A and B are shown apart, each in its own frame.
Chain A
């Protein structure tokens, strides 16, 4: 089973700042099968990025994804007030298994 580790656990930033979130896999993951989600309190997760770098429909271009192999990154170029939330990476791998990372909370400094 592929284990995803996200860092940092919490990122304290101010609106307008750049956020860089990391997702590391215990073994190589196909970029096609790496996605990122945003979750706000009391809400369902929302798809942001799929295929490691493709933005989902309606996602602002301040969100970008990159990476390959075992290291992936979600970048928010300039934080807006509505971007403070928890972010999860998710992969699909061997044994037809889906796993999620533990999440990174982006909160207001």
Chain B
């Protein structure tokens, strides 16, 4: 069974960098698939942040591209998110997910999510 687990600080100060890691178990990242980050502000909808292939190829939401870096560490079977210059608007539950991108596209396995609050 594929499982994903987000980890990282739950509180980040404004202007600093948010850093999260997603540990994957039950599937080797090196075997394929894309992997993504999605966020959800409290009481609001879902926003795709970006995705990465096991080779390291990345795709970012243009609205966040200047502040986002997603990387993969196949040796640890995990991938990471960095979001710089955060503001209160970046307060959200952050999810990592496995992304199938072939003749169809969908996020099939999701982590439980981690709440990140931006506040001084």
Contacts and interface: CB of A to CB of B under 8 A. Distances in A.
A32 interface: yes
Contacts, number: 62
Given A33-B104, A50-B104, A95 B62 contact: yes
Majority SS at the chain B contact face = strand
Given A45-B46, A45-B110, A97 B103 contact: no
Interface in B82-120: 95, 97, 100-101, 103-108, 110-113
Interface residues of A, number: 26
| Candidate in B62, B97, B107 with the most chain A CB atoms within 10 angstroms | B107
B47 interface: yes
A59 B103 CA distance: 21
A74 to B, nearest CB: 14
Interface in A12-32: 32
Contacts of A90: 46, 106-107
Interface in A81-109: 88, 90, 92, 95-103
A99 B48 contact: yes
B27 interface: no
A66 interface: no
Interface of B: 36, 45-48, 51, 59, 61-62, 95, 97, 100-101, 103-108, 110-113
